[in-house]
Structure 1
Amino acid sequence: METPKTPTPIEHRIREGLSRLDSVLRSEDWVRARAAGLNPTQHAILEYLMGRAEGAAVRDIAFQLGVSQPTATESIAALERKSLVVKHASTVDKRAVDVCLTEAGSAAVMTGDPAPGALEQAAGKLSDSDKEHLLMTLVTMIKRLQDAGAIPIQRMCVSCRHFRPYAHAGAAKPHHCAFVNAAFGQRDLRIECRDHSMADPSLQAATWGAFHKG
């Protein structure tokens, strides 16, 4: 078949590129899950619960992982039988339960945790400026997906009430984290922070506006 003279839309080619990266991640997830005696969904649930001492509702776990609630429920039941998670009454909705990680569950997450995988190794060969640019692009894309309701709010700096974008304008480390009371740079932006505290919608909008403008 002759190669078309006009390429497909750039958005389509970006999607193609991301799908190639996803195939590498999925393969590595299988290896890590097998090392812990789990399947990838079960392992992903344990990873999601790491750093969430209060636990998480089944529906939130399902939404985060992009699986159906019955699938999440079945996987959680398997983890419960292995004593890797426990359930307790929700403090928000007495009719619901929250799922929490046990010590054994935390250990299972770390089992077989490999050295940097192929994707991390490839990223490691990028220049510092390319790494920073890629991280900024990922943060922006995740924010757009959140706004569209395609994924839940992530525990990123830009959605945290402690984040002060460009509080130190012109400095090498322009941002400020009120939680640890320290300045940090673009390359230090977090996509998953265990100390994340969700900002209310109006603050999130203002923070993102200041960050994106900067």
Structure 2
Amino acid sequence: MSPFDPRFRRTSAERSTVALYRIAQAIEALFRKRGKAARLTPTQIDTLLFLKYARPGVRTVGGLAQRLGVTYATASVVADGLERRGLVARRVAGPDLRVVGLALTEQGAARVTELEGALDGLLAAIGELTANEQAYFDRILQVLVRSLQRAGAVQVYEMCWGCQFFRPNAHPDDPVAPHHCAFVDAPLADGDTTFECPDFVPVAMVSG
């Protein structure tokens, strides 16, 4: 039996799974719509957003590969296409000449501003929920994201240490998971803190 088959979609879990699948399709459609007008693919849009909001230290071809969950060669091809369009520029990133940095050009920065409203429709839909419903929905999504991260289905690219959400040794009596992540409100094992996280926010951004 499969949740894709309406005849066997009997449990709440099966119905929710398909609902999330439909939402994923809707998000993809929203990005395609914006991308079509700008003559950009969803991957190219993701790249431009990454280069605008990622920390400077990870705005590299390697960092982009991790963000997109693709090989270095594929990320380089994506960067090549945007560079030919005049939206992205390559540069040496730091003292290691082998590390290729990426930056938005003036034209690229203007273009990404036009694309940032791609999720406005979804934001408006969630905004129709009550405050309590939004809080509960947020909590449920955090649990789902955490589970998908453990399964390797969600790409991670920033480490916990140095993040504003990380609480080291918050659970000293827990030998398995002594740390805590305030973003997903869950304990963390030592090994999990070495992974990189897409929700990472440097402490400097809070204190500075």
Give the corresponding residue for 2:7: 3
Q: How does 1:1-214 map to 2 (within 5 A)?
A: 3-4=7-8, 7=10, 10=13, 12-52=14-54, 53-91=56-94, 93-111=96-114, 113-114=116-117, 117-153=120-156, 161-163=163-165, 206-208=179-181, 211-212=185-186
Aligned-partner Cα distance in 2 for 1:112–1:78: 17
State percent identity of aligned pairs.
27
Give the corresponding residue for 1:200: none
Gaps of 5+ in 1: 166-203
**Structure 1 pair 60–164 and aligned structure 2 pair: CA distance change class (3 A):** closer
- Provide the secondary structure at the position in 2 that maps to 1:91: coil
Q: CA deviation at 1:26?
A: 0.7
Gaps of 5+ in 2: 168-176, 188-208
Q: CA deviation at 1:8?
A: 5.8
Q: CA deviation at 1:96?
A: 2.7
Q: CA deviation at 1:27?
A: 0.8
The answer to which structure has the higher helix fraction is 2
Please give the per-residue CA displacement for 1:118-172, whole angstroms capped at 9, x wherever unaligned. 322221111111111112222333233334433333679x87632377xxxxxxx
- Provide the secondary structure at the position in 1 that maps to 2:86: coil
Q: What CA RMSD, in Å, does the superposition of the two structures yield over aligned residues?
A: 3.5
Aligned length: 172
Range moving further from structure 2, 144-153 or 37-46:
144-153
4+ residue runs over 6 A deviation: none
- Provide the secondary structure at the position in 2 that maps to 1:100: strand
TM score, norm. by length of structure 2: 0.65
Q: CA deviation at 1:85?
A: 1.2
**Structure 1 pair 90–161 and aligned structure 2 pair: CA distance change class (3 A):** same
Q: CA deviation at 1:87?
A: 1.6
